[in-house]
Amino acid sequence: MAHGGPSGGAGGRVTAFRSFSRDRSVLDEHLQPGIGRRILRYARPFRPLVILFLITLVIDALLTVVQPLLFRRIVDSGITPGNATVVTVTALIVAVVAVIDAGIGLWSRYLSARIGEGLIFHLRSEVFDHVQRQSIAFFTRAQTGALVSRLNTDVIGAQQAFTSTLSGVVGNLITVVTVLVTMFWLSWQITLMALVLLPIFLLPARWMGRRLQALTRQQMQWNADLSIQMTERFNVAGALLVKLFGRPAEEQAAYDERAAGVRDIGVKIALANRYFFTALTLVAALATAIAYGVGGNLVITGALTLGTLLALVGLLAQLYGPLTALSNVRVDVMTALVSFDRVFEVLDLQPMVQDRPGAVTLPRGSAPDVRFESVGFTYPGADEVSLASLESVARPGVRPSHSGPTLTDVSFTVPPGSTVALVGPSGAGKTTITALTSRLYDPTSGSVSIAGHDLRDVTQQSLHAVVGVVTQDAHMFHDTIRANLAYASPGASDDEILAACDAARIGDLVRGLPQGLDTVVGDRGHRLSGGEKQRLAIARLLLKRPDVVILDEATAHLDSESEAAVQRALATALEGRTALVIAHRLSTIREADLILVIDEGRVAESGTHDELLARDGLYADLYRTQFHATPAV
């Protein structure tokens, strides 16, 4: 019909073309067992709407044959015998049918949108929530772009299973059956002759479809390359690298080459589209010519009425698009199923760190002790935490499984309210100890506890309320200072935020900015200096009011002036709290209540600064080579 649904003219040709241009390689995909039943579970909340949608498709298909039959009546029962009443009444009926058809089209689109957008919402929400609950190991391996693709491209592809694919397959099937039955009833001879032309179109169309699939894959790859280049070069760090190395001309040349590839393939695809539509239009025109040629002679001999011939020609226009699309229906269905399968692949990846059934709330309000008991830890293999399809350089079967142990039999206690400094060579396992304390990972053996509670027995939400972390490169969202700080305490007032800034020794600077708390910090906080960003991170920590503080080289890579300001802010942050500090400054090490020397995943030495120097062991070597040359701040 004219509204361009699955059954009608231009809409049918578009559906047929979309079907043939889809990638047939999906037929080789191996889907999860029971995927059909799983998809139906997602459709359950939309069952009433799906039923209404299917009923609408049936009505729409029936209306496809009504209009040609009404034209037949106008000619045979009205114009030919000269009955003006029949002509007038039937013409009015045609108008009513057209109005009904338009209403059906709008109603069908509304139902399709309700089902599709509702499904997108549920799937996106579920995938986003599930990805957020993955362990940090997952994010160290998964490519951000691939994750975003799952939330966008694949979820939309899954949505199409309930909208375009459902309407296309069911609507086209009903239309073809209805039209063919009606045509055979009107004239089986003309119908058979019209169908003979279909293979003449299908064989070249399949060849063109394969050509389109190859072009489409190339176009997608070129576009992906363009997106990757822009993503990497248009963030602050990438743009800075390009400028510092003076490579804008090379970048422009690379971009132009890829953009030219997209342009050239776009021209080829446009021509292929035109070839396809021209071929389909030509076949329909030939079928119409045959119908008029054969049918016209039958009308002259009286074997067929003129109205019947016109009805047959009208029905032919509704037949070829849906019939062509149905010939490639397996590709349509598999394309939708593969999208669902890729979404389910992410949903089925269980987080390595998750709350146990019956997990308790970790109490807070006072500085607790932190205890490591015979802790061993090996970083998980790629197959345990991620998916090869989310890693652009990974391939199934060739990703490394496990490395050696990072920690071995680590035991120590941080008494309530005390500060323990972790020192040792790079790669010794210091950051791993802090990651286990904030439960970014679970130990492979042994246990980590806070206030006598094994971290695996408490809820992650309560643990993260108790433990606060400041890393050496604190992340800031591309948002205002207020939004970045209030992330730690969403209900905090401006006065509370500024008080935290004062405690972090950055209050005066914030007040002196033209926009104050409304100042946007830029991508990853790049509008701030290193020291300013670290002090804002400490202010964010103070707003959180944790009982345990973890500092992972929070003053690394800072100049002396910035470090002095950050150290004063850290002194406030550590006051009255239990602290675990990865230290590289002599002042921080000396002020610690206990120093743990970590070497090759073990606690090699422990004691105060003076005690460890007296032993003349690894700490003394580190002191002479690293710490002694570092001025106390």
Give the start-to-end residue ranges of the domains of the chain. 9-347, 370-386+402-627
- Range of 157-171, 224-238, 307-321, 355-369 with top mean pLDDT: 355-369
Model confidence at 561, pLDDT cuts 50, 70, 90, reads low
CATH number attached to the domain at 9-347: 1.20.1560.10
Report which DSSP code applies to 366: S
User: Tokens representing 603?
Assistant: 């606690």
pTM score: 0.72
Q: Does 460 score more than 70 pLDDT?
A: yes
Task: Report the distance separating Cα 7 and Cα 175, nearest Å.
Answer: 6
pLDDT digits (tens, 9 = 90+) for 54-64: 889 888 888 88
Question: Coil, strand or helix: which one is 241?
Answer: helix
Q: Does 208 score more than 90 pLDDT?
A: no
Taking CA 83 as the corner, what is the angle to CA 81 and CA 84, rounded to the nearest 5 degrees?
Answer: 140
CB atoms within 10 A of CB 63: 21
Do 386 and 150 form a contact (C-beta atoms < 8 A)?
no
Adjacent-strand bridge partners of 317: none
Task: Report the distance separating Cα 625 and Cα 617, nearest Å.
Answer: 13
Amino acid at 600: E
Taking CA 345 as the corner, what is the angle to CA 31 and CA 390, rounded to the nearest 5 degrees?
Answer: 115
CB atoms within 10 A of CB 514: 6
Task: Report the distance separating Cα 432 and Cα 403, nearest Å.
Answer: 14
- Range of 67-76, 194-203, 330-339 with top mean pLDDT: 67-76
Report which DSSP code applies to 150: I
The reported pLDDT for the residue numbered 288 is 82
The reported pLDDT for the residue numbered 329 is 66
Nearest to 105 by CA among 141, 59, 156, 39: 59
User: Tokens representing 339?
Assistant: 């999208």
Q: Does 330 score more than 70 pLDDT?
A: no
Which of 19-23, 222-226, 511-515, 572-576 has the least mean pLDDT? 19-23
Task: Report the distance separating Cα 593 and Cα 581, nearest Å.
Answer: 11
The reported pLDDT for the residue numbered 394 is 42
The reported pLDDT for the residue numbered 514 is 87
Domain 370-386+402-627 has CATH 3.20.20.70: no
pLDDT digits (tens, 9 = 90+) for 155-190: 777 776 666 676 777 888 888 888 889 988 988 888
Provide the CB-side half-sphere exposure for 582 (13 A, CA). 25
Which of 177-191, 262-276, 321-335, 565-579 has the least mean pLDDT? 321-335
Q: Does 247 score more than 80 pLDDT?
A: no
- Name every residue whose Cβ is closer than 8 Å to that of residue 410 and which is 6 or more positions away in sequence: 372, 374, 375, 376, 429, 433, 446, 601, 602, 603
Model confidence at 398, pLDDT cuts 50, 70, 90, reads very low
Question: Coil, strand or helix: which one is 429?
Answer: coil
Q: Quick check: do 9-347 and 370-386+402-627 share a fold?
A: no
What is the distance between the terminal CA atoms of the chain, rounded to a whole angstrom?
80
Model confidence at 446, pLDDT cuts 50, 70, 90, reads very high
Please compute the mean of the pLDDT values over residues 543-570 and round it to a whole number: 75
The reported pLDDT for the residue numbered 381 is 75
The reported pLDDT for the residue numbered 395 is 42
Q: Does 2 score more than 70 pLDDT?
A: no
Adjacent-strand bridge partners of 550: 469, 580
Task: Report the distance separating Cα 6 and Cα 21, nearest Å.
Answer: 17
Please compute the mean of the pLDDT values over residues 226-232 and round it to a whole number: 73
The reported pLDDT for the residue numbered 169 is 78
Please compute the mean of the pLDDT values over residues 610-626 and round it to a whole number: 86
